Amino acid sequence: MKNFKFLFLLFLVAAACTTNEEQARLDVIESYNNTATSRKSLATLATNKINAENDATFNQADQRKLIKNGNVSFEVDDLKATQKRIEQLIKDVKGYVSSDNTYSSSDQISNTISVRIPTDSFDNFMEKLSQGVKKFDNRNTNIRDVTEQYLDLEARLKTRKLLEQKYLELLKKAKNVSEVLSVERELGKVREEIESAEGRIKYLQNQVSYSSLTINFYTKIASSESGFLGQVKGSFKKGLENIKTVFMMGISFWPFLLVFIGVVWYLKKKKTSKS
């Protein structure tokens, strides 16, 4: 009979899957240790604890968890000097560069830097970055509220850690190998959920603590060719490029040309033989 109660208890614990149901799990286990508790009292106890947990969650919602990101783009006169100034600003606020890429084309050279800035210093960094910039081609900031997600993860983590302790207590009460294996299986599942929740919380904490900013700045390359002669030279270069393109296309079709020549030669030879 005791073994049946033990297995039935594990079934009740494993049956709950939502956050509220996890709290109910703890109530079920508590009631197992207090056998005098009736089914009706157990249901009332679980419901009251669930409601209390939800109320506490909503009361904490005023402590917002916000993820702030942004991107800016602007033209500069001196690319190297601007990059040096930005690197100093990043150092001043104790941020860091996550990526740095330089691109060049026929008319401009640009640099794109992705940085991580402490959220508390984000606005100050943006203000100092704006100094000396004549005009922004693009400048925007977006904020994502992850408070509800964060609080939900914290609540889940708390209940799962409590659940872990309850399973450890049950493990001590196990009478045979079957009971030990049953508890350890459920304990393993709970610990996996704990690790997952802890990892997600750490990720959100990092995203909230550090804002991401993408900075793109570029400089125009002055053309040394202008006027009529410059246009003639440009057209001549373009013509050469077109000839080169046609030539390369012809080379790519050489297998077909070879087959065509072979067919013509064969037909001509056959016609000559008949004559």
pLDDT at position 267, please? Answer: 78
Minimum mean pLDDT range among 1-5, 32-36, 65-69, 86-90: 32-36
Question: Cβ(219)–Cβ(76) under 8 Å?
Answer: yes
Q: Which two tokens stand for residue 49?
A: 């604890």
What is d(CA 132, CA 148) in angstroms, rounded to the nearest whole number?
Answer: 40
Alpha helices in the chain (DSSP H): 2-15, 19-33, 39-59, 79-92, 122-130, 147-173, 177-209, 227-252, 254-274
Q: Which two tokens stand for residue 141?
A: 């900031």
Q: Does position 8 have pLDDT exceeding 90, yes or no?
A: no
Q: Does position 28 have pLDDT exceeding 80, yes or no?
A: no
pTM of the model: 0.59
Residue keyed to tokens 């001590």: 172
Mean residue pLDDT across the chain: 79
Domain 67-144+210-220 fold is: Alpha-Beta Plaits (3.30.70)
What is d(CA 13, CA 27) in angstroms, rounded to the nearest whole number?
Answer: 10
pLDDT at position 258, please? Answer: 76
What is d(CA 127, CA 111) in angstroms, rounded to the nearest whole number?
Answer: 20
Q: Tell me which range, 25-29, 128-132, 143-147, 267-271, is most confidently predicted by mean pLDDT.
A: 143-147
pLDDT at position 106, please? Answer: 82
Percent of the chain with pLDDT over 70: 71
Domain assignments of the chain as residue spans, ordered by start? 2-61+147-208, 67-144+210-220
Q: List all residues 6 or more positions away from 264 whose beta carbon is below 8 Å from its beta carbon.
A: none
Q: In what order do the strands lie in the sheet with 210-220?
A: 96-104, 108-118, 210-220, 66-75, 136-145
| pLDDT category of residue 194 using cuts at 50, 70 and 90 | very high
Residue keyed to tokens 């609080």: 151
Neighbours of 40 (CB within 10 A): 8
Angle made by CA atoms 15, 20, 25, in degrees to the nearest 5: 45
Residues 99-118, mean pLDDT to the nearest whole number: 93
- Digit-coded pLDDT (tens) for 144-191: 999 999 999 999 999 999 999 999 998 888 888 888 898 899 999 999
Question: Cβ(219)–Cβ(78) under 8 Å?
Answer: yes
Q: Does position 243 have pLDDT exceeding 50, yes or no?
A: yes
Residues 241-254, mean pLDDT to the nearest whole number: 73
pLDDT at position 229, please? Answer: 62
Question: Cβ(180)–Cβ(171) under 8 Å?
Answer: yes
User: How would you label 84-98 residue by residue, b for 16+ Cβ within 10 Å and e otherwise?
Assistant: ebbeebbeebebeee
| pLDDT category of residue 226 using cuts at 50, 70 and 90 | low
What is d(CA 132, CA 89) in angstroms, rounded to the nearest whole number?
Answer: 13
| pLDDT category of residue 263 using cuts at 50, 70 and 90 | confident
Q: List all residues 6 or more positions away from 42 whose beta carbon is below 8 Å from its beta carbon.
A: 27, 28, 31
Give how far Cα 192 sits from Cα of 186, 205, 248, Å. 10, 20, 60
- Digit-coded pLDDT (tens) for 42-67: 334 444 554 455 455 445 445 799 99
pLDDT at position 15, please? Answer: 53
pLDDT at position 79, please? Answer: 92
